[in-house]
Amino acid sequence: MGIVDPDRVLKEVTNLKKDRSNWEKGQYLRGKTLNEFTEEMEKKYEFLFKNVATLFKKCIDNDLDMVRLKEMLFYLKQIKRGKDQEEITKKVGETLANTYVKPIVDRLEKAKKEKESKVEELD
> pLDDT by residue (tens digit) across 6-26?
999 999 999 999 999 999 999
Residue 88 within a domain: no
| pTM given for the model | 0.73
Whether 109 is in a domain gets the answer no
Please report whether residue 84 resides in a domain.
no
Of the pLDDT bands very low, low, confident and very high (cuts 50, 70, 90), residue 1 is low
Q: What is the DSSP string of 44-108?
A: HTHHHHHH-HHHHHHHHTT---HHHHHHHHHHHHHHHTT--HHHHHHHHHHHHIIIIIHHHHHHH
92 part of a folded domain: no
99 within some domain: no
In the chain, the number of structural domains is 1
Note down the domain range covering 12. 1-64
The verdict on residue 30 lying in a domain is yes
pLDDT tens digit sequence for 43-92: 999 999 999 999 999 999 999 999 989 998 998 898 888 888 888 888 88
